[in-house]
Structure 1
Amino acid sequence: MMSIVAALLVPLMLAQTSAAPAGGATAERFAQCVALIDENPARAYEEGMAWAAEAQSMSAYRCAAMGLIAQNRFEEGARRLQSLASAVNPENTGLRVELWSQAGNAWLLAREPGQARSNFTRAITTMQSDPQQLPELLIDRSIAYAMEREWRLAEEDLSRSLDIRPENATALRLRAAARMNQRSFELAEADARAAIRLEPTNQENTLVLGDVLESIRTGAPYERP
């Protein structure tokens, strides 16, 4: 599960470290704490909490929460990130959005789509003034909707994401699945083929096209065993 945690959480942290830490020393310590998660998540959690006790640093609490998630303690980590987002100065919209996004992804890992959706919605609402930041958040929320089998709402989020960033194979693939589950088979096939054109070596795109073609053959949405 660590690879999933890294894919969902660590790159976002490393890409945005300037938004969270207060200074150079804090940024360096934060980066070291995050790097430790890959090697020893339990120790990273302990380091984060020791740092938090010493300095009451937002970055310390954040790293500790990530350490919990890397130990498969998804719900506990998600709640901590969610609490941090609520505690951040409302004027620091970038950091709040990051924390809500991370909390949402942790709730997805916990298989709690309702909680995930709530956090993604907070992030989306906060970022409405900067539409270029919305595509990934909309994709994330669509996954929560799909887990709840709210296919129409998932499709709407994915369409909004594609309106902003049209050539996104992930959004096209997920929208193909959402449309397939609403029996819009022709539209689903078009999306799946578009995803393959953008990422021809991604096997997930090919699998989704196969699901759609099987749905067309049987006349009912296909569910993988």
Structure 2
Amino acid sequence: MLIITPAYRHPNPLLRAGIAALLLCAIGLPAQAEPYQQCVSLVESDPDAAYDVALDWEATDLTGGALHCGGLALTALGLFDAAAKRFHRAATEGQKLGSSERVALLRQSGEAWLLAGQGTEAVAVFTEALAFTPTDPSLFFARARAHDFGGETILAYADVNAALDIDTTHGELYLLRARLNRQLDQLDDAMRDIEAALASNINPISVRLERGLIRYEHGDDAGALEDWRFVEQAGTSPDGTVGAASRAATRFIVALEAPAQEQAAPTLP
């Protein structure tokens, strides 16, 4: 029996969002739906118990449902590398799965590898998924994020461009390419992409944090401060909880406004 309590709550709110997305994604497996739903229903309230149920069921299950439920339980417990392996096993060992179910499981495996801080493994799994659906822009975006996580800016850039060749409507693609263009010192291209991201319907907090960095690199300190002050305020919830973007904006503001004799340039991500 695996006992790790309480259920894991990752300190990074962006990663918490990724965890929540994994936990909400129950795959439509073709058989034994009742034990699968019973197992998944335990994940949020008692992931230890869900993991035990998954282990007991795994010996007789051929659908991949037990492995998937076990992966969700491990995700809730913060054991992301183990979760990634179970999602991958579910994708490759589950019988009677269609391509869409296998892709969904591989996608979850890749996201879990990213939560575990393992970009190389995430790239490999997203590449497997692309073999099933080679024109899925969301998978190119996912692999681009994994490449970026591993510092492979050129490879990330190629994947973002591949995604945008298929679908030009998603602001997150422009936001990531703006970041990559900034890293490549292609600041005019970065500004065009960040304005495209800002014109989309995605959360402006992350967009304006990045635009502040691009403006700073352009030498527009006033514009950078304008964006970061917006993020600093908008990234704080009504109850006073300060988000990660708000904390980053505060660091950048402090570094930029330090007295000249002490000033250190903001450290850019």
- Alignment partners' CA distance in 2, 1:200 and 1:101: 22
Cross-structure match for 1:46: 52
Aligned-pair CA distance for 1:89: 5.3
Instruction: Give 2:104's aligned residue.
Output: 98
Moved more, 114-123 or 145-154: 145-154
Aligned-partner Cα distance in 2 for 1:140–1:122: 12
Structure-1-length-normalised TM-score: 0.84
Q: Which residue of 1 aligns with 2:193?
A: 191
Hey, what does 2:247 align to over in structure 1? none
Seen in structure 2, the aligned counterparts of structure 1 residues 201 and 97 have a Cα distance that, compared at 3 Å, is closer
* TM superposition score normalised by structure 2: 0.71
Q: Quote how far apart the aligned CAs of 1:29 are.
A: 3.6
* Structure 1 residue aligned with 2:152: 150
Shift of 1:65: 1.4
5+ residue gaps, structure 2, are 1-9, 11-15, 221-265
Query: Residues 200, 73 of structure 1: CA spacing in aligned structure 2 closer, same or farther, 3 A cutoff?
Result: closer
* One-letter identity of the residue aligned with 1:106: A
Deviation at 1:47, TM superposition (A): 2.0
Quote the residue 2:30 is aligned against: 21
Q: Which residue of 1 aligns with 2:23?
A: 10
The number of aligned residues is: 211
Q: Which amino acid aligns with 2:193?
A: D
Distance of 2:140 and 2:267 partners within structure 1: 24
Bigger radius of gyration? 2
Q: 2 CA distance for matches of 1:126 and 1:104?
A: 15
**Displacement of 1:120:** 0.3
CA distance in 1, matches of 2:50, 2:75: 11
Change in Cα spacing, 1:34 to 1:165, as seen in structure 2 (3 Å) is farther
| 1:82-123 Cα deviation digits (max 9, x unpaired) | 223222459732222122111111110110100000000010
Q: Give the secondary-structure state (helix, strand or coil) at the position aligned to 1:39.
A: coil
Q: 1:191 to 1:28 in 2, by over 3 A?
A: farther
Change (3 A) 1:49 1:32: same
Aligned to 1:181: 183
Q: Do structure 1's residue 121 and structure 2's residue 127 form an aligned pair?
A: yes
Identity %: 28
1:169 deviates by 1.0
Which one-letter code corresponds to 1:58 in the other structure? G
1:216 aligned residue (208, 218, 228): 218
Residues 49, 138 of structure 1: alpha-carbon distance in 2 compared, 3 angstrom cutoff: same
> Counterpart in 2 of 1:60?
66
When you count helix as a share of all residues, which structure comes out higher?
A: 1
Q: Distance in 2 between matches of 1:185 and 1:35?
A: 48
* Cα distance, 1:127 vs structure 2: 1.1
Distance of aligned partners of 1:73 and 1:92 in 2 relative to their CA distance in 1, 3 Å threshold? same
Over the aligned positions, Cα root-mean-square deviation in angstroms equals 2.4
Amino acid at match of 1:38: E
SS across alignment from 2:168: coil
